[in-house]
Structure 1
Amino acid sequence: MTKAARKVAMIGMGAAALALALWRRDIPFSVLDRRYADDRSRWLTLPNGMRLHYRDIGPVDAPVLVCVHGYSASSLDWLPWAERLKSTYRLLLIDLPGHGLTAAPDSYEPSLLGMVACVAALMEALSLARVVLIGNSMGGQVAATYALANPDRIAGLVLVASIGAAEPVSTTTASPPFVVRLLGSAIARFALRHIDLTPLVRHGLRNAFGDREAVTDALVQQYTDLARAPGHREILTGLQIGQRDTAMLARLPLFDRPTLVMSGDADRLVPVAQARAIAAALPRARLIVYPGIGHVPMQQIAERSAADLRDWLAAGPDSPFRPSRPR
């Protein structure tokens, strides 16, 4: 064997050893259900074979809040709000396809409309009407898309660091978020479907929180475990995130339901300018900007943000659970 051939062989062996060290198998749903489901967990089987997971918290006859999480997150993100609001409201915390404990069939093609369809399926299955629909980040885009298409089922809309109605994330920051850059590479997308995601998850959470101390090992483990559910990594790497929806932007001025827009001015993932643009486009919007807070105020400042939500839900002429204004 020539020297060049030996060098190539050594590089190949090193790459194989690195891939083997980083390789991570899926975690079966049976294991994840035991680890992350609780007595509020419910499952809904859809006609396409999807096993849709959601958490049902609070009195069954109370006004309903439907919460939709962001990219790579889960229904667990909303528990800080749910614990503070459950005495007054019924909270339905959904896991989107490729996230949490929802199991998508092999035939599922990741898309915004596919996620919106899951929200619609939950609304239909539970015969829900006049709900307040709440979404964070990507979940804000899902929530807004559903609300714009089904305004008669919406009492109000809450958008927390939402994407979709302003310039793409990748063009509104000096440097696009690392995950956005990775998902732009076919090689990176392939690798992300198989390797240990812990370093990437930790990096992403620190960006989201803007606070290293808040990103605990337990939180990183939770996100990493749920990303390893069967089929999740394929869906996560197949989603196109952070893109402007021009149809949504054009329809926002026609949406006549009360809307609460929340954002942190230290958000590194979705600049506060997006929240300002969304609020300016909506005829009945209230904007709350939290100084020094990042992408997930419902976790970072749960007490304060839940109190702001409670006040908006209960008080004033634009309370979403007051009778609808005549058109």
Structure 2
Amino acid sequence: MTEQRIHHRTVVVRGHELFYREAGPADAPVLLLLHGFPTSSYMFRDLIPRLAGRYRLIAPDHLGFGHSAAPPAEEFAYNFAGLAQLTAEFTKALRLDRFALYVQDYGAPIGLRLALAHPERITAVVTQNGNAYEEGLGAEAWAPVLALIADRNPETEAPVRAIRSVEGIRRQYETGVPAEYRSLLNPDAWHHDATLMAREGQDGIQLALIADYGSNFALYPAFQEWFRTSQVPLLAVWGAGDEVFVPAGAEAFRRDLPDAEIHLLPTGHFALETHAPRIAELIDGFLARRVAGAAVSTR
């Protein structure tokens, strides 16, 4: 098999430079990988090589994250509607007509907004701790965020800022990971995230996005209606120990998608850090059974 190397590229969308990683044959079925908070496309570093022999993998950094441009919050209105629109325009710039989605954390509301706007372009959804149901919200983890959403002020901002510290990010990686898998966690991951989150301007960017997260809750009924009417093929690969998006959020997909394939893995919020080989195997089998050949790049 020909080795598929990962390319690191940029494209300008609405005057903003967006960074993305790409691998796989140009004419292969496309899987668009949308990362969450507080990471970037770096989270897919172990997954992409495992799937690039059969699929075209494209993983952008959202505006304000990773190596993409990060205009200050005073110059760009950071909200999930805006990031979803940029993502839609990103796919058009790359001439991606049809593709499967891999969504995690923030990537879920961004990707599902894209699906609502362009349902004909989505062939399947792989959700890895990417939530779309109220029962998926872990009460303790969400308490400070819900307080900020309800009333943004210096008092409610302080605990949310702590989430972006090195220790706060490390906790997100380690929580829910059983002892036998702890040694698989690469500390480079949370230090990478924390370094990027500490850049000038990130405070305003991230607080704006977290304060806007309530707009995603308002769209949960629309996401669920799309699941019911489209019966889109869906694979949920979920870290069972995640305290942010708890396993009930994975199980809830079956309410609207009876044929959803759901796998709870013995790990946490960033399941790829410990279970990339298993997740790649599950994705490959799922896409081969349900949608192989349906998502074709036109580049």
TM-score, normalised relative to structure 2: 0.82
Tell me if structure 2 keeps the 8 A contact 1:148–1:255: no
Tell me if structure 1 keeps the 8 A contact 2:251–2:262: yes
Unaligned stretches of 5+ residues in structure 1: 1-37
Report the alpha carbon displacement of residue 84 of structure 1 after superposing the two structures with TM. Answer: 0.5
Report the alpha carbon displacement of residue 55 of structure 1 after superposing the two structures with TM. Answer: 0.8
Q: List aligned pairs for 1:121-270, cutoff 5 A.
A: 121-167=89-135, 169=137, 172-173=138-139, 175-177=140-142, 180=145, 183=148, 186-187=153-154, 189=157, 197-207=165-175, 209=177, 212-240=182-210, 241=213, 244=217, 245-270=220-245
Q: Distance in 2 between matches of 1:219 and 1:182?
A: 28
Q: Distance in 1 between matches of 2:267 and 2:20?
A: 27
CA pair 125-191 structure 1, distance change in 2 beyond 3 A: same
- The one-letter code matched in structure 2 to 1:180 is V
Higher relative contact order (CA 8 A, sep 6+): 2
Q: List aligned pairs for 1:284-323, cutoff 5 A.
A: 284-290=259-265, 292-315=266-289, 318-322=290-294
Unaligned stretches of 5+ residues in structure 2: none
Q: Match of 2:47?
A: 81
Tell me if structure 2 keeps the 8 A contact 1:147–1:154: yes
CA pair 104-276 structure 1, distance change in 2 beyond 3 A: same
Tell me if structure 2 keeps the 8 A contact 1:209–1:215: no
Structure 1 segments (4+ residues) deviating >6 Å: 190-196
Tell me if structure 2 keeps the 8 A contact 1:161–1:275: yes
Q: Distance in 2 between matches of 1:140 and 1:214?
A: 25
CA pair 57-182 structure 1, distance change in 2 beyond 3 A: farther
Report the alpha carbon displacement of residue 284 of structure 1 after superposing the two structures with TM. Answer: 4.6
Flag the structure with larger Rg.
Answer: 1
Q: Distance in 2 between matches of 1:278 and 1:119?
A: 24
Report the alpha carbon displacement of residue 253 of structure 1 after superposing the two structures with TM. Answer: 0.7
TM-score, normalised relative to structure 1: 0.76
Tell me if structure 2 keeps the 8 A contact 1:133–1:143: yes
Q: Distance in 2 between matches of 1:274 and 1:68?
A: 18
Q: Distance in 2 between matches of 1:190 and 1:177?
A: 14
Report the RMSD for the aligned CA atoms in angstroms. Answer: 2.9
Tell me if structure 1 keeps the 8 A contact 2:30–2:56: yes
The one of 27, 34, 43 equivalent to 2:10 is: 43
CA pair 128-213 structure 1, distance change in 2 beyond 3 A: same
1:212-246 Cα distance to aligned partner (Å, 9 max, x none): 54444422220111113343332112113475233
- SS of the residue corresponding to residue 28 of structure 2 reads coil
Report the alpha carbon displacement of residue 177 of structure 1 after superposing the two structures with TM. Answer: 4.8
Tell me if structure 1 keeps the 8 A contact 2:177–2:268: yes
Tell me if structure 2 keeps the 8 A contact 1:148–1:252: no
Q: Does 1:54 align with 2:54?
A: no
Q: Distance in 1 between matches of 2:33 and 2:164?
A: 29
CA pair 319-217 structure 1, distance change in 2 beyond 3 A: closer
CA pair 294-309 structure 1, distance change in 2 beyond 3 A: same
Tell me if structure 1 keeps the 8 A contact 2:185–2:274: no
How much identity, in percent, do the aligned residues show?
26
Q: Could you tell which deviates more after superposition, 294-303 or 121-130?
A: 294-303
